[in-house]
Amino acid sequence: MEVGPKGVIEAYPHRNKESRGFFISFEGTESSGKTTQAKQLRDWLESQGFSVILTREPGGTPLGEEIRSFLLDHSNGEICPLTEAYLFAAARAQLVMTIIRPALEAGTTVICDRYIDSSLAYQGYGLGVSLATIWKVNEPAIDLAMPDLTFLLGSGALLQSAMKKEPEDRIEARDSGFHQRVRAGYVRLMKRFPQRIVWVDTRRGVAPTACDIQRKVAGLINL
Ligand code: TYD
């Protein structure tokens, strides 16, 4: 068992019965094209008549954006892994309570650029916080709001980023070992949750990738 106490994530309903909106998250390494694809999916769903909220983590609320700035700011140096996990979870709790849960309950589809899998991959596999601890910290923050579908984006077998660029923030600037553990962690999460996490290879370019994602979502929402 890799994630949390035995069966804990699986014990949660795939979709909270009270929520009527669909919840879709995007995951991947830096520059994997998540943000572009999340926007494409929002535009497509809106063109199909859905009411959609696109948000991101960390952030998406005024408090969450403050926490984001703190977490990504180079000048804050290293933060203890557990503290970091709590800070991401705090931003997540604020986003879930004020945006995600009300939207789902109102029947709005929510698209989130990163969610709990980022904490499992980065703070868990990347920094070595136990996955059980990540889950314990996040369980109240998520409050049963688990995505119906998660797209894991990347190019190539090991989720390499499409573009090589200078690190822009405190987390991107970590060593290659950290980023390798994150990538391997994502692969393990995908194998662990094959019903929810769908791998999308972005090498064919933006438009074909967007079509692949639309096909999967159409299956989910019976379009
Ligand atoms: P961002 O600029 O949004 O990265 P990207 O463009 O790759 O999505 O920065 C978010 C960073 O925060 C990214 O490096 C991943 C990291 N992160 C965590 O470490 N844990 C988390 O729970 C979340 C949501 C993000």
Q: Which amino acid belongs to residue 147?
A: P
Mean pLDDT value across residues 172-197: 94
Q: How close is the Cα of 119 to the center of ligand 1, in Å? A: 9
Q: How close is the Cα of 84 to the center of ligand 1, in Å? A: 12
Query: What is the spatial distance between Cα 23 and Cα 57, in angstroms, rounded to a whole number?
Result: 14
The residue behind tokens 């923030």 is 169
Residue nearest to atom 11 of ligand 1 (CA): 171
Note the pLDDT tens digit of each residue in 112-137: 999 999 999 999 999 999 999 999 99
Residue nearest to atom 1 of ligand 1 (CA): 30
Of 24-28, 138-142, 156-160, minimum mean pLDDT range: 156-160
Q: For ligand 1, what atom is nearest to the CA of residue 122?
A: 19
> What are the residues facing 13 on neighbouring strands?
none
Mean pLDDT value across residues 101-112: 95
Q: How close is the Cα of 57 to the center of ligand 1, in Å? A: 7
Yes or no: say if 107 and 20 are a contact pair by the CB < 8 Å rule: yes
Q: How close is the Cα of 221 to the center of ligand 1, in Å? A: 28
Q: For ligand 1, what atom is nearest to the CA of residue 113?
A: 8
Q: How many Cβ atoms from other residues are within 10 Å of residue 164's Cβ? A: 7
The token pair that represents 126 in the structure block: 């990347």
Q: What is the DSSP string of 69-131?
A: HHHH-GGG----HHHHHHHHHHHHHHHIIIIIHHHHHTT-EEEEES-HHHIIIIIIIIT---H
Query: Which of 41, 44, 69 lies closest to 55, judged by CA?
Result: 41
Mean pLDDT value across residues 30-48: 94
Residue nearest to atom 14 of ligand 1 (CA): 171
> What are the residues facing 111 on neighbouring strands?
24, 54
Query: What is the spatial distance between Cα 8 and Cα 134, in angstroms, rounded to a whole number?
Result: 12
Pocket of ligand 1 (CB under 6 A): 30, 34, 57-58, 72, 88, 114, 118-119, 122-123, 171-172
Total-model pTM: 0.91
Confidence of residue 223 (pLDDT cuts 50, 70, 90): confident
Yes or no: say if 23 and 100 are a contact pair by the CB < 8 Å rule: yes
